[in-house]
Amino acid sequence: MSKVRIYTLAKDLGVENAKMLELLDGLGVSYKSVSSTIEEETVDLIKEMLAEEAAQAGGAPAQATAAPESDTPTDAGSAAPAPQADAPTSSEEVPHRAPVVTIMGHVDHGKTSLLDYIRKTKVAAKEAGGITQHVGAFEAQTSKGKIVFIDTPGHEAFTTIRARGANVADIAIIVIAADDSLMPQTREAIAHAQAAKVPMLIAINKVDLPQADPDRVKTDLTQLNLVPEEYGGDLVVVPVSAKTGEGVEDLLEYISLTAELEDLRADPKGTFGGVIIEGKVDKQAGVLATVMVQEGTLHVSDFLVVGENYGKIKAMTDSNGARIKEAGPSTPVQVLGFSEVPSSGEKVQSAKNEHAAREIVAARASDRRDAENARVQRRLTLEEMMGPLGSVRTVNLILRADTQGSVEAIQGILARKESDDVKINVMLAGIGAPTEGDVLLASTAEATILCFSVTASGGVKKVADGKDVDIKSFRIIYELIDEVDRLIKGNVEPVFEEKYLGRAEVRMLIKHPKSGTIAGSYVTDGSLKRNAKAKVTRGKQVVYEGTIVGLKRFKDDVREVQTGYECGINVDWNDVMEGDIIEASEMVEVEQN
């Protein structure tokens, strides 16, 4: 008996894929994805169910038993409305939005060529005379609606954006050259998509080459536990050629199918939220930033806040270079109006007016300062370090070694270290020194990077320091394993030590209407710092322990005051008295080996 693919059936019957899956769920039929096949008997049942539903709905002619509405729904030029945009949703439902796609993979496997091919064939030609500018993203028009592609040089957008805690891509396409198969950056790209929990499609590129071997790619994928559909898994693998265009339509169709399953929605009337794709300075225009609208709608003259900067939108252009006045969800727009260049991945908010924008910026600046200070002072609890006690803990690792043999040997030992309480998740295991990409992955996944017989370059170390990522190098496998044991035991709690800073004598008290009691003091030893711990002693007795919340020299707020100077100290306590000694100290992390 012949079998039918779910999405083909959905197309033929004129229903959405999601609806089809709902019906299958109702029947208790198991499937892996919309490209799974089902028995003909099931098809009959589905048709009956649809016919019944239509009859109940008031006699609207059921399409269930009718022939497909259109035999050639792939005609991109037809006026057929995009099913996603016009899906018959109830009026209160948040509307669908177009998927945002990123293309990742090993160098030279054809990412740029694929993007170029799609841009050439799927982006509406610009009016004569216009030059299409590179803005970091473009919108492709397909028979199934709009698909937005992230198109940034170096293809680092996905990682850098994610490293800032934002997610811009809904779907990741992993490009693998059919003549080269899986390479280190392919594995990295896969690890990134997995860590971000973004659905992944595989495009096996360069199938036009005589030496292309798509089967080898599929077999290699299974070794990463990624099983293509033909082999019984649920990984969609599409053979394509960015050179001839073969398979590109299929790929676009799969993207739309995946998007439909993801049920991507955003409210154009909601509060605006977006992410910076890229920013640059144009010699003539000034600062230009590409913003991906994620929620709500952006209008010319809106005030935008990015990090601790804000700007008013003077002009907006779409990815085709056309001037626009507003932009809804899943639209990349180039915005003119920022005074400073924002970085990729920064979140964008809007504000009602300039005053509101300034207030947001001021609040952020003060939050940042507080967080910076708190980071130094706070002692992390074991629970914060390790997650709720009693639950299964995952130790995320990125492994780098000199040879494939070492990688395998280490992985073999690690596998035996897993227990009911602790799962070891090697997110990425590769040969060679750790890269900046590894650090970004580690920072978003809170992983530790362990190196065996390889070391990180200075540049990579610097990035790791900036992101608080641990890179540890070993020359003996068992030392590396010991480190893993320590991570497993959670024996990684940073140890803080109290470091004495200095002391001051209180000579005069000033009552401040807002800040309370300010102790006019003279620093007799060392120095005092704002936000340091404070111990107040009276005679021989410690009368209070708290924090120096404010420090002033005359009228100015200062961070630090040295021996021999007078200052105003504001402790978070109002009962300081003349003659008290205020001693300052701070918590510093002790290096552990």
Q: In the structure encoding, which two tokens stand for residue 373, read together? A: 């200070």
Which residue number, 114 or 288, has a Cβ lying nearer to ligand GDP? 114
Q: How far is the CB of 198 from ligand GDP (least distance, A)?
A: 19
Whether the CA torsion 444, 449, 455, 461 is positive or negative: it is: positive
Which residue number, 151 or 483, has a Cβ lying nearer to ligand GDP? 151
Which residue number, 45 or 209, has a Cβ lying nearer to ligand GDP? 209
Q: Which residues pair with 348 in a beta bridge?
A: 274, 306
Q: Is 299 annotated as a binding residue?
A: no
Q: What is the DSSP letter of 478?
A: H
Q: How far is the CB of 214 from ligand GDP (least distance, A)?
A: 12
Q: Are 419 and 395 within 8 A, CB to CB?
A: no
Write down how long the chain is.
593
Q: Are 106 and 181 within 8 A, CB to CB?
A: no
The SS3 of residue 379 is coil
Q: Is 132 annotated as a binding residue?
A: no
Q: In the structure encoding, which two tokens stand for residue 220, read together? A: 């290699």
Q: Are 461 and 471 within 8 A, CB to CB?
A: yes
Q: Are 212 and 141 within 8 A, CB to CB?
A: no
Who contacts 79 (Cβ-Cβ below 8 Å, separation ≥6)? none
Q: How far is the CB of 193 from ligand GDP (least distance, A)?
A: 16
Q: Is 47 annotated as a binding residue?
A: no
Q: Is 106 annotated as a binding residue?
A: yes
Q: Is 108 annotated as a binding residue?
A: yes
Q: How far is the CB of 123 from ligand GDP (least distance, A)?
A: 17
Q: Is 207 annotated as a binding residue?
A: yes
The SS3 of residue 528 is strand
Angle between helices 111-122 and 248-262 (to 10 degrees): 90
Q: Is 109 annotated as a binding residue?
A: yes
Q: Is 101 annotated as a binding residue?
A: no
Which residue number, 245 or 387, has a Cβ lying nearer to ligand GDP? 245
Q: How far is the CB of 227 from ligand GDP (least distance, A)?
A: 24
Which residue number, 242 or 450, has a Cβ lying nearer to ligand GDP? 242
Q: Is 355 annotated as a binding residue?
A: no
Q: Which residues bind ligand GDP (CB under 6 A)?
A: 105, 107-113, 205-206, 208-209, 241-243
Instruction: Quickly count: other Cβ atoms within 10 Å of residue 57's Cβ.
Output: 9
Q: How far is the CB of 141 from ligand GDP (least distance, A)?
A: 22
Which residue number, 205 or 319, has a Cβ lying nearer to ligand GDP? 205
Q: How far is the CB of 28 from ligand GDP (least distance, A)?
A: 42
Give the chain's count of helices (H) and strands (E): 14, 29
Phi, psi of 372 (to 5 degrees): -60, -45
Q: Give the integer Cα–Cα distance in Å for 17 and 301.
A: 40
Which residue number, 111 or 529, has a Cβ lying nearer to ligand GDP? 111
Q: Give the integer Cα–Cα distance in Å for 399 and 243.
A: 36
**Strand 37-39 to strand 541-553: parallel, antiparallel, or no bridges (unpaired)?**
unpaired
Q: How far is the CB of 404 from ligand GDP (least distance, A)?
A: 23
Which residue number, 105 or 214, has a Cβ lying nearer to ligand GDP? 105
> Which residues are known binding-site members for GTP?
105-112, 151-155, 205-208
> Which residues are known binding-site members?
105-112, 151-155, 205-208
